[in-house]
A and B are shown apart, each in its own frame.
Chain A
Amino acid sequence: MKLIKFASITKKIALAAFGLFLLLFLPVHLGINLCLLREDGGEWYRNASHFMGTNYIVKVFEIVLLASVLLHIIIAILLTIENFLARPIRYKVATKTKTPFMSRYMIWTGGVIACFLVIHFINFYFVKFDLVEGKYSADMEQVDKHFQEKAIKLQSGELSEKEQASLMAQYQAISQVSMDKMDKNRKNLVNLTKDEVKLYCGEDFKHYEPDFYNMSLELFANKTYSIIYLLVFVVLGFHLFHALGSLAQTLGLNHKKYTPIIDVVALAYAVIIPLGFAAIPLWLMFML
């Protein structure tokens, strides 16, 4: 039975191509995550997330990436169903053929990763679209500028009574802001809830951003989350064991000279990338 009306090899190549895009994105994500470990109060990390959140080229790739994730998952599920239907009567004795262990469980390891992705999106990605409330940060300069504008309006008598009261409240709040709401360099207000954003920056302040730095540290402070995170990256490693080598096979890149090199690179990739991600909670748990 065919659930997708394309040739089997076309489907296989599509799955590989979307997978390739995800493979390219992982090191980028890892690079940003590793900024968490720099003891600079989140300056690098914040700059990186600001760039990823605002750059237009990145925004285009964000859509491509999301589409890749979705299509990679959808095609994989449909192919698995098709493949299951290709053998309506199963064998009584389970296969004893020796095959690369991880290649047989791609749909399961993939499923675990997809579940984690949902958690990950709820924790971080959806905050960007205001679907979930997180923690926010705001540039002090922007807040000041906003405040000055309001102050000028106050002097020329353009503000209503309500706005005047809120400006006074903001003035009072900001003059007593506690140290943990500021980053190390005193450039940003950080770790704010939605209400605090309104309080410290004014009701109509728009230039706040999600504070992924403090959100991550807060999540990693939770031992249960850290352990789940580590387990997921072990599973991701398993998934990646069958990624690059399989990709080369699918795209027809099989060569006496290069295939052994690709196999080594694939193995290195499958070990280094998950290890890099896992290093972050491990470092935070044991080194700090």
Chain B
Amino acid sequence: MDFTLKIWRQENQKAKGRFETYKIKDISPDCSFLEMLDILNESLVNKLSHPVCFDNDCREGICGMCGLYINGRPHGPDDAVTTCQLHMRKFTDGETITIEPWRAKPFPVIRDLVVDRTALDKMIQEGGYISVTSGGVPDGNAIPIPKHKADQAMDSASCIGCGACIAACKNASAMLFVGAKVTQLALLPQGKPEAAIRVQKMVAKMDELGFGNCTNTYACEAECPKEIKRSNISRMNLEFILAKIVSEETI
């Protein structure tokens, strides 16, 4: 398969970026998207020019490192996959593929297609955890958790933090990311003690970092590689309302 690639190139955070066009030939339909970029980079290195920078790590769809905005969709034209699990058979022969980095104010471009996603970590640091004192290993079933809730919490916990929800959102809102973490911990007894303070702190951080506001467009849900549902946002809204109105704990 042959493709024309239009790729965003930017030397560093301050530099002004631009699109560059590359032709690439004889790509196998079973080649993954990142492998295709590897082939491109090899040819660039052979020509002694700088390869295209992009984030990646595990290449099996579980780490959340990769993330490219391909032809108007985060993680490209397939549902419920990360960029590394996207294959070239999803494209047509001779297609022009435009590759852009995640675009959001809190995600500055570091180089080419690599963006700084520290903002996600900053939000997690505000409360995306439970405070425990270490000690002996607790018994497996010491704390009873209904299966239904355990399943729901597990679904929310499947977030890999790639940032596709933010990249997809027309407002660059991080509500699905924060909502998933708030929901996961609010559903479990271990997360309950800090639930009211957690949601307030994480939302405050999210706003401070410059993410947009949610307008219930649900692009996040449509593009999440882990199919995290918008009900997570709804639950976070409820947790937030209860925390502000019922709880006496404030930040």
Contact = CB atoms under 8 A, between A and B. Distances in A.
B168 A86 contact: no
Given A91-B69, A97-B222, A249 B237 contact: yes
Q: Report the interface size class on chain B.
A: 35 or more
Interface stretch (A98-106, A230-238, A277-285): A98-106
Contact of B237 (A9, A82, A91): A9
Interface stretch (A118-126, A127-135, A213-221, A250-258): A250-258
Given A83-B171, A87-B103, A91-B100, A11 B237 contact: no
Contact of B204 (A7, A82, A98, A249): A7
A29 B173 CA distance: 36
Contact of B216 (A1, A8, A250): A250
B103 A106 contact: no
Nearest to A7: B203
A115 interface: no
A251 B238 contact: yes
A99 B218 contact: yes
A92 B17 CA distance: 12
B117 interface: no
Contacts of A98: 222
A155 interface: no
Contacts of A248: 234
Given A95-B72, A252-B234, A86 B240 contact: no
Interface string A253-284: 11000010000000000000000000000000
A2 interface: yes
Interface in B71-112: 71-74, 77, 98, 100, 103-105
Contacts of A83: 170-173, 212-213, 215
B233 A249 contact: yes
Question: Main SS of the interface on chain B?
Answer: mixed
B170 A95 contact: yes
A26 to B, nearest CB: 20
Interface in A68-99: 79, 82-83, 85-99
Residue among B210, B212, B213, B219 facing the most chain A CB atoms (10 A cut-off): B213
Contact of A93 (B72, B168, B211, B237): B72
Contacts of B125: none
Contacts of A96: 71-73, 77
Contacts of B214: 8-9, 12
* Shortest Cβ-Cβ A-B pairs, 8 listed: A252-B238, A86-B212, A254-B234, A83-B171, A96-B72, A83-B212, A93-B72, A86-B172
19 contacts: A1-B210, A7-B207, A83-B212, A83-B215, A85-B105, A85-B212, A86-B211, A87-B103, A91-B69, A92-B6, A92-B100, A93-B72, A95-B72, A97-B168, A98-B222, A252-B234, A252-B241, A253-B234, A259-B231
Interface of B: 6, 19, 69, 71-74, 77, 98, 100, 103-105, 168, 170-173, 175, 200, 203-204, 206-207, 210-219, 222-223, 230-231, 233-241, 244
Given A12-B213, A13-B241, A92-B19, 20 more contacts: A8-B206, A8-B211, A9-B236, A79-B213, A83-B172, A83-B213, A86-B211, A87-B172, A91-B72, A92-B98, A93-B71, A95-B219, A96-B77, A103-B215, A103-B218, A242-B216, A251-B237, A252-B240, A253-B238, A254-B238
